[in-house]
């Protein structure tokens, strides 16, 4: 998470599970060992995303989504946290899987915040997809001499 947001009064940072998952994808691609741990972590996250898909397909209200998360996501998160704590002692800190586990543990208080409010998303993929045209366009527009040229 971008650290600038940590110091803004009244802003409560919420972690992005897509970013957390990406670390395990990197571990799967680069490591010949420890793939079992990466698969296990991705399995936990898959269960969380499956619940979010169910909530979206059923068009649950924010209150109903909150209830679903409290009843079903929270137990998964508790098991995942216990697994992370146990696995962190068994991997090399500088390995890709070690970095992924460390990232999750360091961001844990932010990653689990989405279960406290049915209005929050499990990740920020929609927002990032919406701003992509502007971030990629910046390079193209940088040296434009007029609005029409941009």
Tally of domains within the chain: 1
Q: What percent of the chain has pLDDT over 70?
A: 77
Is 6 part of any domain? no
Is 118 part of any domain? yes
Is 148 part of any domain? no
Is 41 part of any domain? yes
What's the pTM value of the predicted model, to 2 decimals?
0.81
Q: What is the mean pLDDT of residues 138-148?
A: 63
Structure tokens at 13: 């940072």
96 contact partners, CB below 8 Å, separation of at least 6: 23, 26, 27, 30, 31, 34
Q: Quick check: 143 pLDDT over 80? A: no
Helix (H, G, I), strand (E, B) or coil at 16: coil
Structure tokens at 10: 């009244």
Phi, psi of 17 (to 5 degrees): -70, -25
Is 68 part of any domain? yes
Is 5 part of any domain? no
- pLDDT tens, residue by residue, 78-112: 999 999 999 999 999 999 999 999 999 999 999 99
- DSSP character for 69? I
Q: What is the mean pLDDT of residues 50-61?
A: 96
Is 103 part of any domain? yes
Cα dist. 104→50, 54, 75 in Å? Answer: 19, 24, 17
Is 26 part of any domain? yes
- pLDDT tens, residue by residue, 7-21: 788 878 889 999 999
Q: Name the residue among 57, 38, 51 with its Cα closest to residue 114.
A: 51
Q: Quick check: 2 pLDDT over 90? A: no
- Domain of residue 66 covers 14-137
In contact, 114 and 121? CB cutoff 8 Å = yes
């Amino acid at each position: 998470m971008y650290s600038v947001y940590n110091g803004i009064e009244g802003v409560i940072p919420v972690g992005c599970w897509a970013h957390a998952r990406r670390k395990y994808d990197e571990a799967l691609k680069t490591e010949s060992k420890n793939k079992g741990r990466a698969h296990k972590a991705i399995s936990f996250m898959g269960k969380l995303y499956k619940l979010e898909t169910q909530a979206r397909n059923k068009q649950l209200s924010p209150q109903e989504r909150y209830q679903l998360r409290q009843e079903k996501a929270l137990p998964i998160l508790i098991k995942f946290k216990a697994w992370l704590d146990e696995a962190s002692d068994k991997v090399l800190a500088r390995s890709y899987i070690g970095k992924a586990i460390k990232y999750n543990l360091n961001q844990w208080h932010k990653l689990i915040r989405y279960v406290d409010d049915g209005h929050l998303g499990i990740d920020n993929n929609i927002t990032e997809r919406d701003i992509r045209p502007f971030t990629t366009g910046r390079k193209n527009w940088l040296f434009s001499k007029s609005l029409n040229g941009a």
